[in-house]
Structure 1
Amino acid sequence: MDAPYLLAVIYIYVPVMWGLLSNHATRHGYSHVSTIVYAFKLNRILPRDERTMYLLAIVFALFLPLSLYVIFIDNTNEPVASAAICTLLLACILAASSFFTSPAVRGIYGKHKILLNSVVIIAGAINYSRATSYAEGAIVYLTGLRASELPTAMSWLSIIMVPLAWVTMLAIGFVALYSMALFGAAAKSTNKGPLTSPLNQVHIKSTTSKEHTRLYSLAFCCAILGLTPITLTSLLLKTDWAEIQIRKQLVSASFHVNPEACSLPQIEDAKIALLEAGKAIIAIPDQALGYKFRLTQCPKNWITPEELLQVQSIAPMTK
């Protein structure tokens, strides 16, 4: 199956993409220039917003065959999957760079700086609360205990979950911005007027204004920033590696007692977290999961006041 797919990419997909670029060069008066030279030339001569969409289009042209291979051919091929993830990350970086350096975005931030900073502070508080909720759910799922019984682990996992909460909130925010920018671009498209070509060719008449193009570029960037991080985060959290790391962090935060303290047999690298009187939870190393958690009895021999007095009376004699 790999060979037919590779042949389809080489002899169908690549020629189609190459032909589209060559046709674009011909229509814009660059038929005398080779297609590869025109591809680099576009990056230099296009206006800022159109250059952003052009570069993102190239990234997604690379991403498409990689993602289709992982989805339909072989989802266990790590090099191809890694390459697909890297292209998505590159698209996310390009989109973020274009969005946050956009004159329109910077102008809005400069005009409403205090309001937007206040929104960020409020969002930070909300996200920490959401992260605490995620941490509580993880502890309950992994150990079967209330999160309040492992307070240190609860605090530490809450900090770890903060980026996840931010990714979720930013995804919602960028999707909302995407809708607003797309609606604005659609509204602007109804205003027709004399326009110039983005490639500065006199004999070419563009059908989109600079403001229209800017809105489409922002919408494209918002769509990528809204969907890509949360998609990658979701894929990461579904892996065994993510669960193993959460289990290890849970153990490092709250499990510090050796099994002998509860009269249990010695288990290599096993640790115990003490709960209420007479109870504990033990973390047992596991090759597949990192750690397994089991509830156990942990009887304690509490000393009585009379015995304490006897100890105190014996102590001076031993000196």
Structure 2
Amino acid sequence: MTKTFELNAYLGERRKLVDEAIVRALPEAGAGDPGRLKEGMRYAVLQGGKRMRPLVIIAACEAVGGAAEAALPACCALEMVHAYSLVHDDLPAMDNDLERRGQPTVHVAFGHAEAILIGDALLTCAFAALMRGADRVPPANLVAAVRVLAHHAGVDGMVGGQALDLALGQDIRDLAALEQVHALKTGALYAAAGALGALYAGADADTVRSLESWGLKFGVAFQHADDILDDDQKALRAQALARVDQLVGECDAIAAPLGDKAEPLRAISKWVRDRAHDAAAGVKAD
């Protein structure tokens, strides 16, 4: 690839593939839908969003010689896990959010108990979606994919991060403590994305670990950028911005040996660095 690589065009093309795959992977609503459960699952996932986690999966897969289409089962699975986490996070017992992306949150549109079940259904559906890659992925890699997703979505990853976030509260004054939350709550699913992309490309264990590390670093940088955009954690603003630069540099060092095929990964990490600096300068971006 050349220096004129167009990230927006790349992301737009891959996002279309992901969105189409997710539509196919979700159960159809309509007759035989118990308590509007399937309708709620589709509502939770298909309202839009950047799809950054599945896009990282595809970029990681392509960086080690895989095809975007081969990674789509993992893309669907990770986006379902992400969507279920948002459904549960929005509940009154946690963040009590009433809108997401300009639409009523799932518990507002479908009811509180129903939202819990919709999240549960998305989590279990995610592992079924992951298995749709069985005919394209080496068996050992498929087993590893299940292990990776379960680990990073669970108590040692995203769920643990949410619990820690609730325990520590919103005004964290220590950068190490803040990054522990970011690494679990946000970084874990990006770590899963890097690993899953490599696994669905048939990569070896060392490459999987390398791209898993890329995803974790990117995820922490991504959350720092979001904090700056949302005007959160003001006391740590300067330190967080410096950490974004450091983490993106570490991401680029991991991607360097992969050559031109990793240009999308480098462009994505540059995007998050630019996003953080623009936000710090008062330029609000999506």
What interval of TM-score do these two structures reach, taking the shorter chain for normalisation?
under 0.3
Q: Look at both structures and tell me which one has the larger radius of gyration over its CA atoms.
A: 1
TM-score normalised per structure 1: 0.25
- Return the structure number with greater strand share: 1
Greater RCO structure (CA 8 Å; 6+ sep): 2
